[in-house]
Structure 1
Amino acid sequence: MTNLRAPAPSPADLEGGLASLRGDCARMAPHWAAPGRATAPPVPPSAIHGVTVPPGSARLLEAMSEYGD
């Protein structure tokens, strides 16, 4: 969504190059914290049901050679 109340950047704001952009990013980085890495618990095979594979896909996979052949 566009903020229609924000003023348009002046041409001077758009200049500065990559070094200026990297400096801006470095100054803004502390304002956002990265979320912790979420790990999902393993799912037992007995809990997996309702998965169907189209016959064409099954034939394609069956015809593929094993890795390392």
Structure 2
Amino acid sequence: METMEQTGNVMASEPGLARLRGDCARMAPHWVVPVEPGPAPVPPSRIHGVSVPPDSVRLIATMAEYGD
């Protein structure tokens, strides 16, 4: 038998988006915002040696533009 434990406004046994939103709402006060911005992105001209396996290329090529 599944036990139902109250955690905020959402029951712990509740699946899906409602539970995820409840978990996020409880964690929000613990998230720290950095004081200064992160490092600048690396320009593509400095990225060398990246290889993609052929199986991965085929997988991505068969997916819809916005994912499957």
TM-score by length of 1: 0.42
Structure 1 or 2: more helix by fraction: 1
The structure with higher relative contact order (CA 8 Å, sep 6+) is 2
Larger Cα-atom Rg: 1
